[in-house]
Amino acid sequence: MPRPRVSTRQGTIVGVEVEHGLPQPLEQFLGIPYALSTGGERRFSPPVPVSPVKVFDASHYGQRCPSGSRDATPEGEDCLNLNIFRPKIRDESRKLPVLVYLHGGAFNFGAGNARQIPHLVAWSAEPMIGISFNYRVGAFGFLPSTFMEEEGLLNIGLKDQALLFEWVQQNIAAFGGDPDNVTIMGSSAGAHSVGHHLLHDTHKAPPFKRVILESGAATARAVYAPSNPLHEQQFHEFLQNLNIPSLHTSEILPALRSKTFLEIKAASGAIFEKYNPSVRWPFQPVIDGPGGMIPIAPIAAWKAGSFHRIPILTGFNANEGSIFVPATASKSQEFTGFFRTLLPSLPKDDLVLLNEVYPDPLMGKDEKYKETRRGLGAQFMRLEQAYGHFAYVAPVLQTALFVSSSSPSVSNSASKVEERKETPPVYLYEFALPTNSSLLAYHGSHAPFITHNPEIARLSPTVNQISNVMHAYWASFILTGDPNAVKGKFGDRVVWPRFSADKEDNMVVFGEGNTEFIGRGDKGDVVKVTSDEEVRKECEYWMERTELFEI
């Protein structure tokens, strides 16, 4: 069988056909490099575009970037590569919409092949092209400190992503894709990344037309300056772990680059593990100043109106915090201590108020956070809700609120900013289906529903229908910018309303009341339209204090 071949600026890319387990055959091109190897003198440096080759065999995934992930894919520093999936049967005269997926993993883990993008493409009612890729994570991609700031080497992983977007603009037409119809989609850290790109280089048109942010945003968690004491402490401990003594500044980078990637990986993982229990994760994006990827605090950019006005689909899961907080937390002091450690910039009076916003279930005044499940501490539900709101839900709502209330963009021929006669549409969702009896609708549990993974479809007819409609909404948004426009086999699905803060019914909820995963058998709702009023009220505490976590 002849293999698919595509001629690009980079050379001839030779892929393979795949059909097993998919509703239609795809052509896939795997492990295509978009930058040179990041080892040696290029370690910790911005990515360098790849040199052309005559023929590239794209039949296997390339190396993934070093991280703590347990994955069978080989890893190494020649890891900046991408994967392209397109329908085998297509109208070659038509340029197809393009999806670019940014993986999550706390900026410390993950790889492009972690999500089933082939399934998302193959199940789409209309043809599209899907792309996944790797970017540097952990200390390799994010090593904030005053030293690295002085070296101009901050937010390297975000710069990898930006170079990938350039590669797509220059090459995707050769694969049948439309470079003017690109959607970027991220989950968790991938969504935080999408949020940063949404606020970046707003004086010119972005290399994407619309965005999807799942459980993430530019204001998620904390975005500090590189000189923040926590970053300085973690950088010092990272050097100590590598047995790099106090050196003259001119000697630090050569010493770091002299280590093997396995030594760097081990040190990066050790520092992550030390701080993971308190969720004060190391190796994160930081505010890098004028000309950088995050030139000012994200909340300041939102308030200044400095963001790309394009269609957005965004949302959160009902139990975002459950996989991150201690399941055995039983005393109110543990709740307060968790946030005192995580957010030292939170004033004492605000900590007192936090205990009123999320009342102690042991006090008997409010049943909302009462924990009755066996094996879980009395403070677990209270703690996971508060952390989930802080880290994910409130930032998602901020994105929806700022974009939906923004004034339309104006035409600017010099920067080719698209003129919009109306505020760009925003579509907000909540994923509420509990897929684990302890963690419930936990962070990331929505992902296989969107890509229509086979293990989800086999569980029950109702769960399969939830996956059907979620995939249909996402695919329609990728294709058109409207989750309702492409009907396909599920054209009778509920109309997803545009989000507006002053509308009563302004979002959708998936899977509420379904308990089939956790053995109770209730079917619940596939999807229903509701209001964000209750969750927005719960998140006001965090949205009013974002500036405290961006210093």
Where residue 175 falls (left for φ over 0; alpha for ψ -120 to 50; beta otherwise) is alpha
Instruction: List residues bridging with 320 in a β-sheet.
Output: none
- Rounded Cα–Cα distance for residues 516 and 351 (Å): 38
The 10 Å Cβ neighbour count of residue 480 is 17
Tokens of 520: 């109770």
Tokens of 198: 């949404």
- Rounded Cα–Cα distance for residues 270 and 413 (Å): 50
- C-beta of residue 84 within 8 angstroms of C-beta of residue 196: no
> Could you list the active site residues?
188, 320
Q: How far is CA 206 from CA 9, 248, 352, in A?
A: 22, 40, 43
Greatest CA separation found in the chain?
Answer: 72
H, E, C per residue of 491-508: CCCCCCCCCCCCCCCCEE
- C-beta of residue 448 within 8 angstroms of C-beta of residue 470: no
Q: At what angle do helices 348-357 and 332-342 cross, to 10 degrees?
A: 130
**How does DSSP classify residue 470?**
H
Interacting residues of 41 by C-beta distance below 8 A, sequence separation 6+: 257
Cα dihedral 520→525→531→536 (10° resolution): 30
For 119-244, strand residue ranges (E) read 129-133, 177-187, 210-214
Reference 451, options 53, 117, 9, 220; nearest CA is 117
Tokens of 547: 């500036």
Q: CA neighbours within 13 Å on the CB side: how many for 188? A: 23
Tokens of 249: 């500044």
CA 225 distance to own-chain centroid: 21
Helices and strands in the chain, H and E counts: 16, 14
Backbone angles phi, psi at 118, to 5 degrees: -55, -40
Interacting residues of 302 by C-beta distance below 8 A, sequence separation 6+: 199, 218, 219, 398, 402
